Amino acid sequence: MINKINQIKEELEGLSATDLGAVEELRIKYLSKKGAISLLFNDFRTVSADQKKAMGQALNELKNYATERINALRESLETADTVDLSLDLTRTPAPIALGSRHPLSIVKEEIISIFSRLGFTVAEGPEIEDDWHVFSSLNFAADHPARDMQDTFFIQRNPDVLLRTHTSSVQSRVMEHTEPPIRIICPGRVYRNEAISARAHCFFHQVEALYVDKNVSFADLRQTLLYFAREMFGPETQIRLRPSYFPFTEPSAEMDISCNLCGGKGCSFCKHTGWVEILGCGMVDPNVLESCGIDSKEYSGFALGMGVERITNLKYQVKDLRMFSENDKRFLEEFQSAH
* 180 is a contact residue toward ligand DAH (CB under 6 A): no
**Coil, helix or strand for 307?**
strand
User: Which residue is closest to ligand DAH by CB?
Assistant: 305
* 225 is a contact residue toward ligand DAH (CB under 6 A): no
* 304 is a contact residue toward ligand DAH (CB under 6 A): yes
Q: Give the whole-angstrom CA distance, residue 20 versus residue 36.
A: 20
Cβ proximity to ligand DAH, 8 vs 123, nearer residue: 123
Cα-Cα-Cα-Cα dihedral of 62, 67, 72, 74, to 10°? 140
* 249 is a contact residue toward ligand DAH (CB under 6 A): yes
Q: Is the dihedral of CA 246, 250, 254, 257 positive or negative?
A: negative
Backbone angles phi, psi at 83, to 5 degrees: -125, 125
* 135 is a contact residue toward ligand DAH (CB under 6 A): no
* 168 is a contact residue toward ligand DAH (CB under 6 A): yes
Report whether 138 contacts 289 (CB < 8 A). no
Site residues (CB under 6 A) for ligand DAH, limited to 269-288:
280-282
Binding mask 20-59 for ligand DAH (x = CB under 6 A): ----------------------------------------
Q: Give the whole-angstrom CA distance, residue 288 versus residue 285.
A: 5
Across 220-260, the runs of DSSP E, i.e. the strands, are 239-246, 249-258
The one among 115, 246, 299, 324 contacting ligand DAH by CB under 6 A: 246
* 211 is a contact residue toward ligand DAH (CB under 6 A): no
Which stretch, 107-115, 225-233, 302-310, 321-329, contacts ligand DAH (CB under 6 A)? Answer: 302-310
CA triple 222-227-232, angle to 5 deg: 125
User: Which residues lie below 8 Å from residue 320, measured CB to CB, with a gap of 6+?
Assistant: 198
Work out how close the CB of 217 gets to ligand DAH at its nearest, in angstroms, rounded to a whole number. 15
Work out how close the CB of 192 gets to ligand DAH at its nearest, in angstroms, rounded to a whole number. 9
The one among 110, 260, 305, 318 contacting ligand DAH by CB under 6 A: 305
* 309 is a contact residue toward ligand DAH (CB under 6 A): no
Q: Give the whole-angstrom CA distance, residue 181 versus residue 183.
A: 7
* 301 is a contact residue toward ligand DAH (CB under 6 A): no
* 311 is a contact residue toward ligand DAH (CB under 6 A): no
Report whether 324 contacts 104 (CB < 8 A). yes
| Contacting positions for ligand DAH (CB under 6 A) | 166, 168, 208, 246, 249, 280-282, 303-305
